[in-house]
Chain A
Amino acid sequence: MTRDSLLLRVTGLSKHYGSRIGCADVSFDLYPGEVMGIVGESGSGKTTLLNCLAGVLPPDSGTVMFDTRTDGLRDTLCMSEPERRMLGRTDWAFVHQHARDGLRMNVSAGGNVGERLMAVGARNYGHIRRAAIDWLDRVEIAEDRIDDRPDRFSGGMQQRLAIARSLVNGPRLVFMDEPTGGLDVSVQARLLDLLRRLVREMGLSAIVVTHDLAVVRLLAHRLMVMKGGHVVEAGLTDQVLDDPQHAYTQLLVSSVLQV
């Protein structure tokens, strides 16, 4: 991992819904191993931005250059549909706010993980099952639950299973939309610990959208603050949170209830 190998370069990304702004003129660079947090309240455009980055929503303008394994930096927005799908199965992963959106609820836990391996060509049942067991273990799901369907799991377990499913193919970039949202605080802590560990062990980069400032402080190296579709402030996470410059960031930080 060389220091200057850019992983993602986003320039001038904009998305409008009719006359309303989804996100406007967003630009940033991301390097391997970096976690970028995006914060802002509901309607600030952070989920729109994430969806545009991940190719879920087509932006109106801008480029999303990704360092592909075979051809170096390429604009993912100009890729053919099969190319982009392949990217989504290999180098990219998406962790949804609601684990159910990322899981197949009528398929076993092991199947949810194994299916991703099969999508990139794995065929040996023994290998697939072993990899599934290994991943369930990494996200702290007991091996004897491998044949259970996710609808019999708790919310926290479903989210951990969704993470295993997302990461089994060894992606280099993970998009996360409120990954700890809707979970109990104790479950959140467990998930945060897990995410931090995986990021370090796998050298992952991640873009994490959340409204929870405590979560970004612990998870993200860098932070972008969004308001009305615009990035109003960006920088080192602790600097943005401890010495916010923009009026909106100051309001956001000072509005957090102290425990």
Chain B
Amino acid sequence: MIDIEDVAKRFVLHTQGGAVIEVMQGASLSVGRGECVALAGASGVGKSTLMRMIYGNYTAQGGRIMVGDVDVASTGPRDILELRRHTLGYVSQFLRVVPRVSTLEVVAEPLRAVGVARNAARARAREMLRRLNIPEPLRVLSPTTFSGGERQRVNIARGFVLDYPALLLDEPTASLDATNRAVVLDLIGAAKARGAAILGIFHDEAVRDQVCDRVVDVSDFVPETSA
């Protein structure tokens, strides 16, 4: 479902004298349906960069990034948006929302974007927030005022409210307590069971051992020159 072949990434910092930083070379990996693969490697090795390239958030300087039958590395904005709407979910560390929109609407949004009716979308969002222990009184508020752990759970709810065939998870359990971590593990397990391809960064080794089928070491993709 996710097939990456010989991907390279370079940052050119024009504002800092045109410094060229080669961060990745020859990155290849694949994640099949129903499989969960972990990206490993020390901090700064490029795990998040690789995830962002797969999501089309960062450009790639070569290679192919296939998600389903779309090559994210070479396709245009419209196809990437379409891919994100229907196929590829992403639980990131950031939550960027319009400050006034309620948590319930934020979570329902991915469903609304694929044409699910308002009430049905809200009902599913409500159920997802209940599972992630975001209490009723908070759901009418904007998540911009939430704590780190609460925001993360809102992000997770958004990523799992729709059954995406492929999912990217950037440290989904980083600031969660044991109860909520267990909920996320259940969600990941259920997503695998329905055939989703999952690629994630999991610093928590217990979590990694429990849900991941394989580990890919991203330090293998660090260019020789900068290693």
Point out residues on A near B: beta carbons under 8 Å.
3, 31, 34, 186, 189-190, 192-193, 196, 200, 217-218, 221-222, 235-236, 238-239, 242-243, 245-247, 250-251, 254
Q: What 0/1 readout, one digit per residue, does chain B (6-41) give for beta carbons within 8 Å of chain A?
A: 000001111100000000000000000000000000
Write the B58-88 contact mask toward A (1 if CB under 8 angstroms, else 0): 1100000000000000000110111000000
Say yes or no: B15 contacts A218, CB within 8 Å.
no
B13 to chain A, nearest CB (A): 7
The 4 closest A-B pairs by CB, nearest first: A247-B14, A236-B77, A189-B99, A243-B58
Instruction: A222 to B78: give the CA distance in the assembly, Å.
Output: 9
* Chain B residues at the A interface, C-beta cutoff of 8 Å: 11-15, 52, 56-59, 77-78, 80-82, 96-101, 112-113
Shortest distance from the beta carbon of A141 to any chain B beta carbon, whole Å = 16
- Answer whether A242 and B57 are a contact pair too, CB < 8 Å, given A221-B81, A235-B77: yes
Say whether A251 contacts B56, CB under 8 Å.
no
Are the CB atoms of B96 and A251 closer together than 8 Å? no
* A238-B57, A243-B57 known; A193 vs B15 contact (CB < 8 Å): no
| A contacts with B: majority SS | helix
* Further pairs besides A192-B100, A236-B57, A247-B14: 17, Cβ < 8 Å: A31-B78, A189-B98, A189-B100, A218-B97, A218-B98, A221-B77, A235-B77, A236-B80, A236-B81, A239-B58, A242-B57, A243-B57, A243-B59, A245-B12, A250-B13, A250-B14, A254-B15
In the complex, 15 of the A-B residue pairs with CB atoms within 8 angstroms, ordered by the A residue number, are A31-B78, A34-B78, A186-B100, A190-B100, A200-B113, A218-B96, A221-B77, A235-B77, A236-B56, A238-B57, A239-B77, A243-B57, A246-B14, A247-B14, A247-B15
